[in-house]
Amino acid sequence: DTGVSQNPRHKITKRGQNVTFRCDPISEHNRLYWYRQTLGQGPEFLTYFQNEAQLEKSRLLSDRFSAERPKGSFSTLEIQRTEQGDSAMYLCASSLVVGASYNEQFFGPGTRLTVL
């Protein structure tokens, strides 16, 4: 399967713990996006990378959220000191953007986080 993969698929944690999620994009894609989806809502944009550069992070929900894409390939999303309100599905998507062109985003299966 050469699609976007995410690990783990499910994560249950206790309030106050730190969690990290991983996303492996489609191999030739240079853009990687993180979204959050809560029940009854569409995905909400959090941050994105072009290669290893994080070009937008103002939409991250708080300073407890951070993301990295150290070598321009896989990415990690970390949530520190988790709260019950962080319970959601965290989605990763990737796309190939060349110059001023725009292409569709391909989504992974998501990581479902439950904070107890």
Strand order in the sheet with 5-7: 5-7, 19-24, 75-79, 65-68
Determine if 102 is a binding residue for other proteins (CB under 8 A): yes
> Percent helix, strand, coil in the chain (nearest 5)?
5, 45, 50
Token pair listed for 82: 């988790």
Residue 60 CB, nearest distance to other proteins (Å)?
A: 12
Determine if 25 is a binding residue for other proteins (CB under 8 A): no
Segment 27 to 56, residues that bind other proteins, using CB under 8 A: 31, 33, 35, 40-45, 48, 55-56
* Interface with other proteins (CB under 8 A): 31, 33, 35, 40-45, 48, 55-56, 59, 91, 95, 97, 102, 104-110
